[in-house]
Amino acid sequence: MTKTFSFQCADCGHSEPFTALVDACPACGGTWLDPVYDLQSTATIWKKGLSRRGCSMWRYWELLPVRDQRHVVTLGEGWTPLIHLQNLGGMLGHKHIYLKDERQGPTASFKDRQASLAVSVLKEANINEMVVASTGNVAISYSAYCARSGIKLWAFLDSNVPHEKMREVTLYGTEVIKVSSTYDNTKQVAVRFARHRNLFLDKGIRSIAAREAMKTLAFEIAEQVGVSRGKRWAAPDWYVQAVSGGMGPVGVWRGFKDLFDMGFIDKIPKLAIIQTAGCAPMVNSFEKGLEVAEVVQRPASVINVLSTGNPGPAYPYLRNLVLQNGG
Amino acid sequence: MTKTFSFQCADCGHSEPFTALVDACPACGGTWLDPVYDLQSTATIWKKGLSRRGCSMWRYWELLPVRDQRHVVTLGEGWTPLIHLQNLGGMLGHKHIYLKDERQGPTASFKDRQASLAVSVLKEANINEMVVASTGNVAISYSAYCARSGIKLWAFLDSNVPHEKMREVTLYGTEVIKVSSTYDNTKQVAVRFARHRNLFLDKGIRSIAAREAMKTLAFEIAEQVGVSRGKRWAAPDWYVQAVSGGMGPVGVWRGFKDLFDMGFIDKIPKLAIIQTAGCAPMVNSFEKGLEVAEVVQRPASVINVLSTGNPGPAYPYLRNLVLQNGG
């Protein structure tokens, strides 16, 4: 099956048909582009047949930026369980706390959604070599999907990546470059390398595929909460996530927005964004009322996958969502 | 929802209603007991409503030995992907090789099925303390499910268990005893400890819950292969598994047998059982035509989870299946 869809520039509103490698707005040069799908026809299709589809994130393929299903590179990612935390709920005096267990993915992190979609988009565009910077999980996940699809991967890892993760990346045959610095600096080194070699670079939160993959978390949660409420779909009151670059909640919000626009849910959850004290550029900047995040120069957290000191465009985007929708 | 079912002794054929803690046949003392369900009424129920059920191993609950659904202890185990190995298939000249990716479980091994069912059965029997011996994966998995359900666990680990696995077990609050010996000796120490303290001991392959949990692999494979063939159910030609104690294929065979008896599949797959050269009591004994396995006294394999030197009752059981059904 194939489909057509467009993208729209968040800065100037320019819109044209989507091509896999669109990098910036042809009209204004803006780098935040959102895909635009036919929500109405998707709503009709999903009402009829969604519940009979397979249990992976690709059950939502109408709202993912791949045009031809034959290009999908999958390892069975998505449709992770939503686990009712009875004991924690009891301790906190709240009966309805649920955990979306993203460790139950092909390489044990939610980055598998991103890697599956990003690598599928690359396959569709006939790209066979790429570069990523990572605190570990992205590199592991992209390594698995690149190995499956025959794409050569260069992974730039910062000095805090634990040796077990380093080893896992190399098992897949990825070219590994360890940068003796912070994650933010590692990203800069990867950018220069990709430019020098003229290789495709994964743009993280500015990548349509990366953000769109996270939408599937919202779709699954709404279906799973729905079942627990005896309905087809239902939105939770709150969505809570610990963030580094912020891609998770940015994408998840968009997923709930799509469902709301399709008339499947009657509200968009409030967002709560968690950071560790040692690396909390978003939380600190929000509390100070800043419109642009203050960069944390030396992240100091034992949770190395949360060590983005400079959240870039994610902060104003998320700040806006929290101010508009509550959180 | 509740159900009733029986068990039957494999030695003398004696049968009576199932109770959770049945340990040996009341008639002859035999320790290999099989549960007996109402396959006919289950077939009717599954034909109508199975495809609309949730994606965990509990979708098959009619053929699992728990009487009341409220006792189910779940972390979203089962319904792991069946991944088409296109590249390996190309290399080996066979297009239809599939991998059942059991790493995509709550604690990343197929033992999560066993732990979910075993702990559910214990909850139903009001047991709140238990003992296991393990090469690592069983201890991690039982630790997770015991922590969730409030059961105190004593885990006996052999000296080859890697320190990361040891650490993971302790994170769940399990009492860990490291035995400086082989896995087979570690099991003996655990048996003596449980007897001394009068605690429930997980009996591994002799446990109904443990074997029955593995049936769900067969059910899922038959549904997943079915989809790839455009049918509701289909059996593969072969089922291949690397084994230690042999519980996997013993349970899986039973699952395919149930499906065959219900008329859902038209054949039972041939079994292929893989062991490493350093610890291959089943493979070696089979090749010598032995009816009882020769014990490997000093297992020497880098894959420590495959280090059962004495396969006990699994060997004659599997030998029989292979001789009867091919393999």
**Distinct helix (H) and strand (E) counts, chain B:** 10, 11
Three-state helix/strand/coil letters over A237-254: CEEEEECCCCHHHHHHHH
Are A54 and B227 within 8 A, CB to CB? yes
Q: Characterise B147 by phi-psi region: left (phi > 0), alpha (psi -120 to 50), beta (else).
A: alpha
Q: A83 and B75 in contact by Cβ < 8 A? A: yes
Q: Output the pLDDT for position A72.
A: 96
- φ, ψ of residue B27 in degrees (nearest 5): -85, -50
Q: Is the pLDDT of residue B1 over 80?
A: no
Q: State how far residue B115 is from chain A, nearest Cα, in angstroms.
A: 16
Determine the distance from the C-alpha atom of residue A306 to the mean position of all C-alpha atoms in its chain, rounded to a whole number: 14
A55 contacts B87? CB cut-off 8 A: no
Instruction: Report the number of secondary-structure helices (H) and strands (E) in chain A.
Output: 10, 11
Whether residue B251 is predicted with pLDDT greater than 90 in this model: the reply is yes
**Interface predicted TM-score (ipTM) of this complex, two decimals:** 0.86
- Cβ atoms B141, B247 nearer than 8 A: no
Which chain B residues contact residue A81 at CB under 8 A?
A: 56, 74-76, 106
Q: What is the residue type of B146?
A: C
Which pair of structure tokens corresponds to residue A273?
Answer: 């964004």
Q: Return the pLDDT at A115.
A: 97
Residues in A 273-312 with any Cβ partner in B closer than 8 A: none
Residue of chain A nearest B80, judged by CA positions:
A76
**Substitution target from A104, A151, A228 for chain B, most B beta carbons within 10 A:** A104
- Structure confidence at residue A269 (pLDDT): 96
Q: In a 3-state reduction of DSSP, which class is residue B201?
A: strand
- For residues A210, A212, A217, A223, the Cα torsion angle rounded to the nearest 10 degrees is -160
Residue A304 has a pLDDT of 81
For residue B65, is it within any domain?
no
Q: Give me the pLDDT at residue A112, please.
A: 97
A75 burial via Cβ count (<10 Å: 0-12, 13-18, 19+): buried
Is the pLDDT assigned to residue B203 strictly greater than 90? no
- pLDDT reading at B20 higher than 80: no
Interchain CB contact of A78 with B (< 8 Å): no
Mean pLDDT per segment of 10 residues, for chain A of length 327 residues? 89 90 89 93 95 91 95 96 92 94 95 97 95 94 96 95 93 96 94 96 89 97 93 95 89 96 97 90 90 89 84 89 86
- pLDDT band, very low/low/confident/very high, at B247 (cuts 50, 70, 90): confident
| A87 in reach of chain B (CB within 8 A) | yes
Residue at A153 is within a domain: yes
Asked if A56 has any chain B CB less than 8 Å from its own CB, the reply is yes
Mean pLDDT, rounded, of chain B: 93
Contacts of A144 in chain B (CB under 8 A): none
Of A74, A76, A164, the CB nearest to B104: A76
Is residue B21's pLDDT more than 90? no
Q: Which ranges of chain A does DSSP label H, i.e. alpha helix?
A: 39-49, 86-92, 111-124, 137-149, 163-171, 183-197, 208-228, 247-261, 281-287, 314-325
Cα separation, B208 vs B205, whole angstroms:
8
pLDDT above 90 (res B216): yes
pLDDT at B204 (0 to 100): 85
Q: In what order do the strands lie in the sheet with B129-134?
A: B175-179, B152-158, B129-134, B200-201
The average pLDDT across B168-175 equals 96
Q: Residue A194: inside a domain, yes or no?
A: yes
Burial A283-307 (b: 16+ CB within 10 A, else e): bebbeeeeeebbebeebebeebbbb
CATH number for position A192:
3.40.50.1100
- Taking an 8 Å cut-off on Cβ atoms, the answer to whether A79 and B55 are in contact is yes
Chain B residue with minimum CA distance to A109:
B104
Say what the pLDDT of residue B43 is.
97
Residue B101 is nearest to which of A52, A76, A150, comparing CB atoms?
A76
Cβ proximity of B144 and B137 under 8 Å: no
DSSP element (H, E) containing B191 = helix B183-197
Q: CB of B124 within 8 A of CB of B209? A: no
Interfacial B residues in 18-47 facing A (CB < 8 Å): none
pLDDT in tens, A176-190: 999 999 999 999 999
Q: Angle between the A111-124 and A137-149 helix axes, to the nearest 10 degrees?
A: 40
Q: Which residue of A has its CA nearest to B75?
A: A83
Cα four-point dihedral sign A63, A66, A71, A77: negative
Residue A263: the pLDDT is 97
DSSP of A53-71: S-SSGGGGGGGSS-SBGGG
> Domain limits at A158?
111-206
- Report chain B residues whose CB lies below 8 A from the CB of A106: 81, 101, 103-104
Residue B122 in domain: yes
Asked, for residue A119, whether it belongs to a domain, the answer is: yes
Q: Poorest-confidence range of A296-310, B86-100, B189-203?
A: A296-310
Q: What is the pLDDT of residue A260?
A: 97
Nearest-angstrom CA–CA distance, B187 and B194: 11
Number of domains in chain A: 1
- Residue B136 gets which letter from DSSP? S
pLDDT at B19: 80
Cβ–Cβ < 8 Å for B204, B194: no
Quote the pLDDT of residue B232.
93
Beta strands at B152-158 and B129-134: parallel, antiparallel or unpaired: parallel
| C-alpha closest to that of B209 among B66, B67, B305 | B66
Considering only CB atoms, which chain A residues are within 8 Å of B83? Answer: 74-76
Buried residues in B286-307 as b, exposed as e (16+ CB within 10 A)? beeeeeebbebeebebeebbbb
In this complex, is the C-beta atom of B172 within 8 Å of any C-beta atom belonging to chain A? no
Distance from CA of A322 to the nearest CA of B (A): 31
| First-residue to last-residue Cα distance in chain B | 39
Given 3-state DSSP classes, what are the helix, strand and coil percentages for chain B, each rounded to the nearest 5? 45, 15, 40
A81: nearest CB among B52, B76, B82: B76
pLDDT at B305: 82
Q: CB distance from A83 to chain B under 8 Å? A: yes
**Position B146 confidence tier, pLDDT thresholds 50, 70, 90:** very high
Considering only residues B77 and B3, tell me which one the structure prediction assigns the higher pLDDT: B77
**Residue B315 sits at the chain A interface (C-beta within 8 Å):** no
Are the beta carbons of B87 and A148 separated by less than 8 Å?
A: yes
Percent of chain B with pLDDT over 70: 100
- In terms of CA atoms, which chain B residue is nearest residue A51? B52
Q: Which of residues 182-221 of A touch B (CB under 8 A)?
A: none
* B147 min Cα distance to partner chain A (Å): 10
The pair of three-digit structure tokens given for residue B68, joined into one six-digit string = 């009341």
B87 and chain A: CB distance < 8 Å anywhere?
yes
β-pairing, B33-36 vs B6-9, is antiparallel
Q: Assess if residue B318 is contained within a domain.
A: no
Q: Which helix (H) or strand (E) holds A274?
A: strand A270-274
Q: Chain A residues with CB inside 8 Å of B81's CB?
A: 56, 74-76, 106
Task: Count other C-beta atoms under 10 Å from residue A184's C-beta.
Answer: 19
